[in-house]
Structure 1
């Protein structure tokens, strides 16, 4: 079995069996491609079925010089998953990364914005330009519904159930969930649809896509990042803000206002509640208040 064939089969497995998104599959493939390039550049002729732990250790050692601890850990995890797949398909018996330990990393807490900072960013949008109404509706949706940027740009008009107070979101692995949408977010989406979107020349295939660029096509992830970066710079905010920051802030503010973790998990579309639990660490003052308010020995 060649590396290219093994990687192709692995990507199909991740898509069909694991139901992963294209972005996740590409990230896993990137890890394997790094190993393949290393073997090729160093004229090491070995197949994925007989590569040794020593060869992989040497690759990780050489590559680690250019990576931080978190990236090293991600690389090892990605390769371990690839060889676990080969075991699953009975191509090999032992994972060559079995004895290779990932570097210890601390759990990185996500950046968050205060309500005042979110208001300041949205208020900085120039509403005199046609894209202004779109950008306001987008950021209100990012924050108001806690969406991932990929979920935002893929949102359809047919996903909007405003009378019921929900939107249908397609998340990682094409898993769908219904997320509540508040009146103020509905209002800004409706303004954008009626005053801007209805007058656009929409390209074929994008008639149902909610947020469009000036050419009438779907926005890219990079464009949403750029819009946010420009607004943050405009108000002089010294924070590293991305679309995901709005999602983190959504979850953190819900927790601060006494929402339970299980509800937050469902709204964010986290498969495991342990992912959601990171928000507990963001605001320890909230935990103190909970104990003081509810503990019988207070």
Structure 2
């Protein structure tokens, strides 16, 4: 059966299950990317002709065009949902994404202050508080009660 027809049926099923409009659009777009890739690069339009090798080539293609691993993982998750639907509805006997794993995503490392920078900020802060006390005429006892309480 044609993959495009099955995508329409899958989209209809998602609407019946009351998925959000945004989720349906994302699934539709991501599966549509696979369909376009299969038609242009492998001349495949029938769902039974798709193998896990084609899916891996699609993932490789996504990497080559510069998509980041977390975006490609979103595509893989959409394709998994689509293929789970196809298996449940018995359009395919084997899930082509069963052994496809998510890509390793880059960890975001947040740079923190070094001890030197932290002590520099602390000394600047202490100087500012001293200047505030001096220029405003605040007694040190009153200032300490503001800071502590």
TM-score over 0.5 for the pair: yes
Q: Equivalent residue of 1:78, what SS?
A: helix
* Alignment partner of 1:95 is 2:113: no
How far residue 106 of structure 1 moved from its aligned partner, in angstroms, is 6.1
Q: Equivalent residue of 1:49, what SS?
A: helix
- Give matches, 1:1-298, under 5 Å: 1-17=1-17, 19-65=18-64, 66-105=66-105
How far residue 74 of structure 1 moved from its aligned partner, in angstroms, is 0.6
Relative contact order, higher structure (CA 8 A, sep 6+): 2
Structure with more strand by fraction? 1
Q: Any idea what the Cα deviations from partners look like across 1:39-70, whole Å, max 9, x if unmatched?
A: 22224224123311111111111112221010
CA distance in structure 2 between the aligned counterparts of 1:73 and 1:43, rounded to whole angstroms: 22
Which 5+ residue runs of structure 2 have no aligned equivalent?
109-149
Kindly indicate whether the alpha-carbon contact (under 8 Å) linking 2:87 and 2:94 is maintained by their aligned counterparts in 1: yes
Kindly indicate whether the alpha-carbon contact (under 8 Å) linking 2:34 and 2:58 is maintained by their aligned counterparts in 1: yes
CA distance in structure 1 between the aligned counterparts of 2:22 and 2:82, rounded to whole angstroms: 16
Residues 43 and 55 of structure 1, relative CA distance in 2, 3 Å threshold: closer
Q: Any idea what the Cα deviations from partners look like across 1:1-44, whole Å, max 9, x if unmatched?
A: 11221010000111112x11111101001111101111222242
Question: RMSD between aligned alpha carbons?
Answer: 1.7
Larger Rg: 2
Flag as ranges the 4+ runs of structure 1 deviating above 4 A.
none
Residues 41 and 104 of structure 1, relative CA distance in 2, 3 Å threshold: same
Structure with more helix by fraction? 2
How far residue 107 of structure 1 moved from its aligned partner, in angstroms, is 7.6
